[in-house]
Chains A and B, each alone.
Chain A
Amino acid sequence: GAVVSQHPSRVICKSGTSVKIECRSLDFQATTMFWYRQFPKKSLMLMATSNEGSKATYEQGVEKDKFLINHASLTLSTLTVTSAHPEDSSFYICSARARGEGWSNQPQHFGDGTRLSIL
């Protein structure tokens, strides 16, 4: 149980285009989803937290207008990289907290990540 599907797994696109990454909880309702960015051989950096039906909360230094996050339902959150440039190339990972887990020892449920390459 607690499967998170992230799509696409790999995307290559031209500079200036917008790219949408989807994060779906397949067998549970995700009240909160998290978006991380990871550079090669580096740590995961939290970009933003999204709660279903409300605006995302961005971490300091993350451009809201560049990285649009939508959490319209309890099973889907999307990250749109707008007007992407080569410096936006990275590995993006989502994770989710299931409804009912609350303050528990249950870990976040991670997607398999998306490798974004901007040419």
Chain B
Amino acid sequence: AQTVTQSQPEMSVQEAETVTLSCTYDTSESDYYLFWYKQPPSRQMILVIRQEAYKQQNATENRFSVNFQKAAKSFSLKISDSQLGDAAMYFCAYRSNDYKLSFGAGTTVTVRA
């Protein structure tokens, strides 16, 4: 399994501000997919955003965007205009050719009102 590293166990952000979550991964594959998932207290896994490795353009979904640096094997998530509902645990995930997902340790995001 690929190694996915999230070095920030916890992050706190003021409502309406921006927060960036870091993620790095290790792989020898050239084609793969990267995902960010949100897991609120309900523990439901919610897909936030996805990125194909062969695409140079960074993915964007409304207030969520990524900074994908393939050479550096880095895949950070930026949450803009943070809302109270963004509070959750966020997981970075790597999907290999066998369709398996490898998850990072997760980052708990707290949003301050």
Which residues of A pack against B, CB within 8 Å?
32, 34, 38, 41-46, 49, 59, 91, 93, 95, 97, 103, 105, 107-108, 110, 112-113, 115
* Chain A, interface SS category: strand
Measured between beta carbons, the chain A residues less than 8 angstroms from B97 are 103
Given contacts A34-B100, A97-B99, contact A41 B89 (CB under 8 A): yes
Which residues of B pack against A, CB within 8 Å?
1, 33, 35, 42-45, 47, 50, 52, 89, 91, 95, 97, 99-106, 108
B100 CB contact (under 8 Å) in A38, A49, A110, A115: A49
Measured between beta carbons, the chain A residues less than 8 angstroms from B101 are 34, 44, 46, 95, 108
Please indicate which of the listed interface residues A43, A113, A115 has the most CB atoms of chain B within 10 Å of its own CB.
A43
A43 CB contact (under 8 Å) in B52, B95, B106: B106
Measured between beta carbons, the chain A residues less than 8 angstroms from B42 are 112
Q: How far is the CA of A113 from the CA of B35 in the complex (A)?
A: 19
B35 CB contact (under 8 Å) in A34, A41, A103, A107: A107
Please indicate which of the listed interface residues B95, B100, B102 has the most CB atoms of chain A within 10 Å of its own CB.
B100
Given contacts A34-B100, A91-B43, contact A42 B33 (CB under 8 A): no
